[in-house]
Amino acid sequence: MTDKIAYSRHDDIVVLRIENPPVNALSQAVRQGLADGMDRAEAEEGVRAVMIVGEGRAFIAGADITEFGKPPMEPHLPNLCNRIEASPLLVVASMHGVSLGGGLEVALSAHYRIAQPSARVGLPEVHLGLIPGAGGTQRLPRLIGVEPALDAITTGRHIKAPQALEMGIVDRVEEGDPQEVGLAYVRELLDSGAERRPICEMPAPAPIDWDAAYEATLKKGRGQISPAEAVRAVQAGVEKPFEEGMKAERRIFSELMNTDQRQGMIHAFFSERAVGNLPELKGVEPRELKAIGVIGGGTMGAGIATAALLSGFSVVLIEMKEEAAKAAHERISGNLQGALKRGKIDQAKFDHLTGTALSVSTEYDSLADVDLVVEAVFEDMDVKKDVFGKLDAVCKPGCVLASNTSYLDVNEIAAATKRPEDVIGLHFFSPAHVMKLLEVVVADKTAKDVVATGFALGKALGKVSVRAGVCDGFIGNRILATYRTAADHMVLDGASPYKIDAALEKFGFAMGPFAVADLAGLDIGWATRKRKAATRHPEERVPTYIDRLCEQGHFGQKTGEGYYIYEKGKRGGTPNPEVTRLIEEEQKERGITPREFTEAEIVRRYMCAMVNEAAKVLEEGIAKRPLDIDMTLLFGYGFPRYWGGPMKWADIQGLPNVLAAIEGFAEQDPWFWKPAPLLAELVKTNRNFDDLNKEAAK
Ligand code: 3HC
Ligand code: NAI
């Protein structure tokens, strides 16, 4: 027995209690302990049943992800599951907290399952770029049928115990101490003469149209392969004897283990947890937050207020005029109406949030008691400075003063107050009550506990918060500006916006850059180009064709025409021939002979531009770690999770290859494609971005 399993005897029942905090992952020692425990129980006189239960907050959260990529160690999980299932004793799993992945697979190899009402089960391996690898794709369909099993496996969703009971995944749901209610259940089963019930002996379920299911899953996954491969594993289990199905599952699991997508997804899993873990904030207590102030109730202010209300904060929103205040209230009510419709809140909660918890005012004095204010007024430095001056006058000492600015200098905004140490940037993404990303922008004088408070707010709102420094666009928008420029250059040189969007959607982006521009509104980019025109470097190549379209009053989706033409009632748009004409016109004016771009070249240029700028963001200290950039792009910019983020993508390509590509592009346009010194340095010292993550964690 290993020290991860506590063995105890209760008359004729043996309890194997897993003690591997924090989440009872199935490390080698846990697997060994369970195997030894089964051996011992079977060898002992008078034992009739074994119950497996978890200590702490979960039954079992699955295989130990930290062991992935290392040489596999015996006993292997599929063999352990088979061994448990084959036991001559009656085996019961008593589940609480989560039973995920290998955890549910262990439970499925038991003969009966009892769960706490609050328990959740699931096979989330697809979120790690894998499929269940210890019989999940074989046993679950036999137990509940192919379609519900495929839904669970290909989505990886968590299923609450009452629903798991309805679906037949668990046999009983009962509140109480997992060991006590579990033991009572085992006793009841023994007294009623219940027989062993190995799922492997159940008949194979009815088949479905496998090719159609495979194709549909592949399409839904936008290029992610593991959910579609899970269909094949389930198919093998239905068409072949159990042992053959297990072998097919193992083969697919092992193949996926060696894919880039698995590496990317697991990088995303750990980075998502590491991103809020800042060494500089160790031991720093955040300030208390109860009441939040929001200045400006437009698109962003209303979204921020909605998010805060839904997370239990009271909100005081300030607008300029009564009419605007009324409109802001309506906007927030509209957002909350959505939450009501989706069942996230009930009517009583809706009434409370739009009534008592929210107050809208035109008087800054109403902010006297708030603990933190987020300013979301127009993107104009003078307006922002004026607002911060007023906040300084009315907010109580210790109140955190935050700006939601997209680009402006937070140091300059802080200087408009007498308390720059309380000022920070909190850059939300639109729609703010939906998007997961929050950039916490730390200015020169921001106090540490104010930074900690920014992160605490992000956590309370359910956001992924990333630390960023001050520069034009912080981490995300600054990098976006560069890769968007790379896309614009490709358009000038001959790749159509539609070909670029298609290539990048195939790469895995939720939307291509031109479809995104139409969604955000072309007027935003137009205004920025006008603002920057005076200070532009002469060698900078900026296309003007889209300005011609804006001059005609076409701003994208909101006006029905942009890069694409949008018809009412139809999803998506069709290419706009006027855009193609304007591009050709500009190419003629500039004397450019358009050339062919392959999809691979489009992706390479776009990604290299992203990585190169990201490396500059890192070396300037705007982002502290590569993983901060990866999480920014993943949660704010629709970057495909299965690549892990741009820095992980670069590591997977090999940094020498990325640098060589950038140097190659620089031969035609040395001004735009200046290789980041950090990239060259990493190549020279034979390191990559992941090494920088590891160095930062030390
Ligand atoms: N292996 C190793 N470590 C794990 C782990 C796992 N399966 N699951 C969680 N952890 C670690 C986390 O990294 C974190 O470590 P840290 O404190 O050092 O950052 C710690 O446990 C606590 O996790 P969270 O911060 O995520 O805690 P939450 O309470 O928010 O969430 C959870 C708990 C729901 C279990 C969540 O961690 C989770 O979803 N884990 C992954 C579950 C999973 O994907 N299981 C399938 C594994 S693959 C598999 O089983 C293959 C098999 O089919 C062969
Ligand atoms: P918006 O124009 O929709 O809303 C601004 C609101 O502020 C208006 O309702 C206006 O009446 C109000 N306002 C202006 N001056 C005010 C003052 N002195 N006091 C009180 N209210 C005042 O603008 P939006 O899009 O909500 O942007 C707000 C801020 O958020 C900007 O700084 C913008 O850069 C930033 N941002 C915008 C994003 C977006 O996608 N729209 C994303 C992230 C940040």
Q: For the segment 103-132, what is each residue's pLDDT rounded down to a tens digit?
A: 999 999 999 999 999 999 999 999 999 999
pLDDT tens digits for 17-40?
Answer: 999 999 999 999 999 999 999 999
270 φ, ψ to 5°? -75, -35
Bridge partner list, 120: 98, 160
CA proximity to 325, closest of 338, 316, 334, 337: 316
Is there a contact between 497 and 563 (Cβ–Cβ < 8 Å)? yes
Does the interface predicted TM-score (ipTM) exceed 0.85? Answer: yes
Is there a contact between 98 and 42 (Cβ–Cβ < 8 Å)? no
The contacts found for 560-565 with CB under 8 angstroms, 24 or more apart, are 562/517, 562/518, 562/522, 563/497, 563/498, 563/514, 563/515, 563/517, 563/518, 564/514, 564/515, 564/518
pLDDT tens digits for 374-403?
Answer: 999 999 999 999 999 999 999 999 999 999
pLDDT average, residue stretch 327-349: 96
Euclidean distance between CA atoms 50 and 35, whole angstroms = 12
In this structure, the number of other CB atoms found within 10 A of the CB of residue 552 comes to 12
Residue 2 is classified by DSSP as: -
Q: For residue 75, say if its preceding peptide bond is cis, omega within 30 degrees of 0.
A: yes
Ligand 1 proximity of 666 Cβ (cutoff 6 Å): no
294, 299, 385, 387, best to mutate for ligand 2 pocket (most atoms within 8 Å of CB): 299
pLDDT at 572: 86
**Residue 514 banded pLDDT, cuts 50, 70, 90:** very high
In this structure, the number of other CB atoms found within 10 A of the CB of residue 336 comes to 23
Euclidean distance between CA atoms 401 and 551, whole angstroms = 38
Euclidean distance between CA atoms 30 and 36, whole angstroms = 10
Torsion of CA 48, 52, 55, 59, to 10 degrees: -160
Provide Rg for the chain, Cα atoms.
28
Residue 599 known to be catalytic: no
Residue ranges of the alpha helices (H) in 494-620?
497-507, 513-520, 522-533, 545-551, 577-590, 599-619
Residue 494: helix, strand or coil by DSSP?
Answer: coil
Euclidean distance between CA atoms 631 and 610, whole angstroms = 14
Ligand 2 proximity of 377 Cβ (cutoff 6 Å): yes
Tokens of 419: 């308390």
Tokens of 553: 């009053």
Closest listed ligand to the CA of 430: 2
Euclidean distance between CA atoms 144 and 159, whole angstroms = 13
User: Which single residue is written with the structure tokens 């899953």?
Assistant: 217
With 0.90 as the threshold, say if the pTM is over it.
yes
Q: Whose CA is nearest to atom 38 of ligand 1?
A: 61
Euclidean distance between CA atoms 375 and 336, whole angstroms = 21
pLDDT at 570: 81
Closest ligand 1 atom to 120 CA: 34
Strands 159-160 and 464-469 turn out to be unpaired
Ligand 2 proximity of 300 Cβ (cutoff 6 Å): yes
Q: Whose CA is nearest to atom 25 of ligand 2?
A: 299
294, 306, 317, 320, best to mutate for ligand 2 pocket (most atoms within 8 Å of CB): 320
pLDDT at 169: 98
403: CA distance to ligand 2 center in Å? 10
- Of 85, 125, 319, 586, the catalytic one is 125
- Of 105, 249, 375, 439, the catalytic one is 105
Ligand 2 proximity of 123 Cβ (cutoff 6 Å): no
Residue 360: helix, strand or coil by DSSP?
Answer: strand
Residue 42 known to be catalytic: no
Ligand 2 proximity of 320 Cβ (cutoff 6 Å): yes
Ligand 1 proximity of 249 Cβ (cutoff 6 Å): no
Q: Whose CA is nearest to atom 22 of ligand 2?
A: 296
Asked if the model's pLDDT at residue 1 lies above 80, the reply is: no
586: CA distance to ligand 1 center in Å? 53
Closest listed ligand to the CA of 252: 1
**CA 659, 660, 661, 666 torsion: positive or negative?**
positive
Euclidean distance between CA atoms 358 and 543, whole angstroms = 45
Residue 569 is classified by DSSP as: T
CA proximity to 358, closest of 391, 398, 314, 418: 314
Closest listed ligand to the CA of 157: 1
Q: Whose CA is nearest to atom 44 of ligand 2?
A: 406
Residue ranges of the alpha helices (H) in 118-167?
136-144, 146-155, 161-167
Closest listed ligand to the CA of 109: 1
Q: Whose CA is nearest to atom 10 of ligand 2?
A: 296
Torsion of CA 342, 348, 351, 355, to 10 degrees: -130
Ligand 2 proximity of 375 Cβ (cutoff 6 Å): no
Angle at 568 between CA 564 and CA 574, to 5 degrees: 25
**Residue 524 banded pLDDT, cuts 50, 70, 90:** confident
pLDDT average, residue stretch 646-665: 98
